[in-house]
Amino acid sequence: MLPIFLKTLPFFAVIALGYGAGRLRAFPAEATGWLTKFVFYFALSAMLFRLTVNLPLSEIWDPVFIAAYLTATGGLYAVQFILSRLRGVSMAEATIEAQVGTIGNTGFLGIPMLGVLLGPAAAAPLLAVLTIDMIVFSSLVTLLITAARGGRPGLAVAGPLLLGLVKNPMIVSMIAGFLWAGIGLPVPAAMDETLVLLGSSATPCALFAIGASLAGRSAERLAVAGWLSFSKLVLHPAAVALAALVLFPVNPADAGVMIAAAALPVAGNIYILAQHYGVAPQRVSAAILISTAFSILTVPLVIAWVTGA
């Protein structure tokens, strides 16, 4: 356990450094926004393109893997939604809370950190988890909130959904990588070196941006935020472990990566969704802050378990 903790410590140390810089105003909110855009549009996209251009599509789209992850995440999503409704919150709030309790920070934290800690073989299952989260659950939250507000989730919603997916640089970079590989074109040396240079900046910049963004968050509605953080850090990896190790015959190595990805803290983009729709943004902000803080302990525990360390 101690060796795993020491391996994860530098990643969380960079997050803490970003948090300290944000709190001390040495790195203002405007700078955090621009750094996040750099990671999102350039550094992480370069990393994802380089990963996908060297991976066969069959390694990512494993039907058994997808079924296991969808069953576990979708099941917990439904449970969280029902429990929130039983508390008397609105359908829109219940949807956001379900998203908080099940969707982790795979893009900004999982790909950079778990890719290093679990090795190159973790790339395919991590990309599968990221793709499912972005396409399935990001679309689901939009559809449910639209329905909750009396809208009709039909063609009027389908257009913006598809446009949002097409404009997402992470999805675009992965599709571009698969197409490039499918055509069979070699990656020129100069292009590959550029991708390596940009991609190598993704990890420190993403971690620093996470920390700096946390500096501006407040911890309100602690009871609910604490419960949702527990769901994300404990219940989600437990549900995924049950699905991947018991219910479905997932390859053990891939199952371990899926469980580790499920143990990640709440995704930061959920706050953007909550703020956009005006649905419980402070609750989401608090859950992101709490889950990220406690993941310093829980993520190493899960990684130690799945790796047998």
CA dihedral 109, 114, 120, 126 (to 10 degrees): -70
Residue 146: inside a domain: no
What SS3 state is found at 226? helix
Residue 140: inside a domain: no
CA–CA separation, 211 and 216 (whole Å): 9
Residue 198: inside a domain: yes
Residue 236: inside a domain: yes
CATH of the domain at 20: 1.20.1530.20
Report the candidate in 212, 153, 286 with the shortest Cα–Cα distance to residue 25: 212
For the chain, the domain total comes to 1
CA–CA separation, 213 and 221 (whole Å): 19
Residue 252: inside a domain: yes
CA–CA separation, 241 and 68 (whole Å): 9
CA–CA separation, 95 and 99 (whole Å): 6
Residue 144: inside a domain: no
What SS3 state is found at 284? helix
Residue 274: inside a domain: yes
Instruction: Kindly give the confidence (pLDDT) of every residue in the chain, 309 residues in length, as a single tens digit, with 9 standing for 90 and above.
Output: 678 888 899 999 999 999 999 999 899 989 998 999 999 899 999 999 998 898 877 778 899 999 999 999 999 999 999 999 999 999 999 999 999 999 999 988 999 899 889 988 999 999 999 999 988 998 888 888 887 776 665 555 566 667 666 778 888 898 899 889 888 888 999 999 999 999 999 989 999 999 998 887 766 668 899 999 999 999 999 999 999 999 999 999 999 999 999 999 999 888 888 887 888 888 898 999 999 999 999 999 999 999 986
Domain range enclosing 297 = 2-132+172-307
Residue 228: inside a domain: yes
Report the predicted TM-score, pTM, of the whole model to 2 decimal places.
0.88
What SS3 state is found at 193? helix
